[in-house]
Chains A and B, each alone.
Chain A
């Protein structure tokens, strides 16, 4: 099966938030009220009922005003930090088409995936005690439909297809931008996590932070240590401890206390 992907061409995003609504409606998530934070962005962050956020960032590029808008959601990493961190078998699965999906029946709500995620995406619901994030509409994709956000996008900023095709499209778009004078235009697809199945085209590819994206996403080193060396250390402590006790018992045995006589 081919790996599917989503392409976000930020140069065509107008921050209309249609994808936010489409996501909540398709996934049957309750609407809440927004907050005011000196921005058009009323939802401060992703939430258990809100898996798709457009971040608005005002910036100046070489003296010219810019207003960058970028959609933010699960990146569906090839090497997914959430899966690495998850203790519950089957709670987070990587489907054959590359979608990283949560199975809420198996999820125990420990929230380790939140810490494991280099993009800080999953969110724990205090109501249901489960963790939620974008599923790339795996239910729609399974029956041949495009994800809800893609369907709702009015400007063709979002596209859906195989990762291979979209990468090609993204490369074409980047070369167009470069020929338009945006020398730093680049694809953003997280090579540090084995590549993400959400690809971005950024006009200012040298500064992904301006779009609210981490500069060089990687699974956090503490998580890697925790799930690697520390585990071996654990085995050593446990089995080593038992083994040492056994040898000690066999070789030296119990301590007899001295008798008076």
Chain B
């Protein structure tokens, strides 16, 4: 019975990973919403939802720092696993086939496929940029003008890059790949799921 269970439920994400992921997600959502308010008058209504302009001015950078710290933790946990190898590079070349659910010619994935890895690096990079430019924007009175002038451009562009990635990420994990959401909430996947989406990982873990 026990082995049966173990076989039908594979641990995909540890509790620590899941907690980190969701805290990152929450802080991202907050920073994102408040950020769009700060970015465009068309989105100013979100400031109202979040308690007003002064509130978001105060908490957006704090949320940003929390996001960055938690992301740094995820980075620490995942960066080895996220390194792109030769197969991944092959994968990326035929990424469109993956998007079209074609399996032919798409290299098999390990724990993370090359798309996920790319997302990871995209988020890590943009978060670094967001953090650096965010500190500049947080204390404009202390920062040299040149830095501020760079930051006002870097911060939104990095945020957009991040947002673009996250749209794909959310869409994929909720609507495109059934079971992926459970993986990040409950932490497990079925062996079938693993075999199907991450065959290499399946093979390695069930050895």
Residues of A within 8 A of B (CB): 85, 87-89, 91, 106, 108-112, 114-115, 120, 123-124, 126, 129, 220, 222-223, 225-226, 230-231, 233-234, 237-238, 241-242, 245, 248-249, 252-260
| List of A residues within 8 angstroms of B149 by Cβ | 115, 220, 222-223
CB neighbours of A114 from chain B (8 A): 140-141, 148
**CB of B192 within 8 Å of the partner chain:** yes
Q: List 17 A-B contacts (CB under 8 A).
A: A87-B38, A87-B39, A88-B44, A108-B56, A114-B148, A115-B140, A115-B152, A222-B150, A223-B149, A230-B157, A237-B164, A248-B99, A252-B100, A252-B101, A255-B101, A255-B176, A257-B192
Cβ B40 vs Cβ A231 within 8 A: yes
Interface centre among A124, A129, A231, A257 (most CB of B within 10 A): A257
Contact B153–A225 (Cβ < 8 Å): yes
Q: Which of B71-79, B85-93, B167-175 contacts A (4 or more CB under 8 A)?
A: B167-175
Which B residues touch A253, using CB under 8 A? 176
CB <8 Å contact, A126 and B141: yes
B154-207 interface (Cβ within 8 A of A): 156-157, 160, 163-164, 167-168, 171, 175-179, 192-193, 195-197
Residue among A87, A91, A253 having the largest count of chain B Cβ atoms under 10 Å: A87
**Given pairs A110-B38, A124-B140, A249-B175, 9 additional interface contacts (CB within 8 A):** A87-B40, A109-B54, A110-B140, A220-B149, A226-B152, A233-B157, A242-B167, A255-B197, A257-B195
Q: In the complex the two chains form, is A254's CB within 8 Å of B152's CB? A: no
SS of B interface (majority): helix
Q: Are B153 and A241 in touch, CB under 8 angstroms?
A: no
Looking at the assembled complex, report how far the CB atom of A212 sits from the nearest CB atom of chain B, in whole angstroms. 15
- B contact set with A: CB distance below 8 Å: 37-41, 44, 47, 53-54, 56-58, 99-101, 137, 140-141, 145, 148-153, 156-157, 160, 163-164, 167-168, 171, 175-179, 192-193, 195-197
| CB-defined contacts of B58 to chain A, threshold 8 Å | 129
Q: In whole angstroms, what is the CA distance A237 to B168 when docked?
A: 11
Docked-complex contact A123 and B141, CB < 8 angstroms: yes
Chain A's nearest CB lies how many Å from the CB of B167?
4
Q: Within the assembled complex, what's the spacing in Å between the Cα atoms of A114 and B142?
A: 11
A88 in contact with B137 given A230-B156, A234-B39, A241-B167 (CB within 8 Å): no
Q: Name B192's contact: one of A110, A241, A260 (CB within 8 Å).
A: A260
Contacts of A225 in B (CB 8 A): 153
Is A87 touching B44 in the complex (CB atoms < 8 A)? yes
- Do B178 and A254 touch across chains, with their CB atoms under 8 A apart? yes
Cβ-defined contact, A237 with B38, below 8 A: no
Q: Write out the residue numbers on chain B whose beta carbons fall within 8 Å of the beta carbon of A123.
A: 141
Asked if B41 and A249 make an inter-chain contact with CB atoms under 8 angstroms apart, the answer reads no
**Minimum C-beta distance from B107 to chain A (A):** 16
> Please, which residue of chain A has its CB at the minimum distance from the CB of B136?
A115
